[in-house]
């Protein structure tokens, strides 16, 4: 799924990704979240995103009720594959940053 060559131990989770694409259109797409041992999170999407876009991930098979809520991440483009999919590294959006965005 992910385009990088070698990884430490990773886990894959089915997720629903939503947000606004680079055309400012709302999208919802199912994908797999790759969560590496070193806490790096990446996802592969069919749609394009603007630099620094905020997207929301929701686990499709929740482990607990809290895990089914969407979580905000900032997406950073890492690579594109020949099929046109784009790999994004995800960074958590802190509550402090969210507060600054809405003021």
pTM of the model: 0.76
Half-sphere exposure of 80 (CA within 13 A, CB side): 7
pLDDT at 25: 96
pLDDT at 41: 95
* Interval 30-89: pLDDT, tens: 999 999 888 899 999 999 999 899 999 999 976 666 557 899 999 999 999 999 999 999
pLDDT at 23: 94
Q: How far from chain centre, in Å, is Cα 54? A: 9
Write down the number of H helices and E strands in the chain: 1, 6
Q: Which domains does the chain have, with CATH numbers?
A: 10-101 (2.40.10.220)
């Amino acid at each position: 799924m992910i385009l990088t060559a070698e990884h430490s131990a990773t886990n894959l989770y089915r997720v629903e990704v939503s947000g606004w694409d680079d055309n400012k259109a709302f999208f919802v797409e199912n994908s797999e979240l790759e969560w590496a041992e070193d806490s790096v999170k990446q996802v592969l999407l069919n749609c394009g995103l603007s630099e620094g876009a905020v997207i929301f991930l929701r686990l499709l098979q929740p482990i607990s009720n809290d895990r089914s809520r969407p979580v905000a991440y900032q997406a950073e483009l890492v690579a594109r594959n020949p099929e046109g999919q784009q790999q994004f590294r995800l960074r958590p959006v802190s509550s402090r940053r969210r507060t600054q965005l809405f003021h």
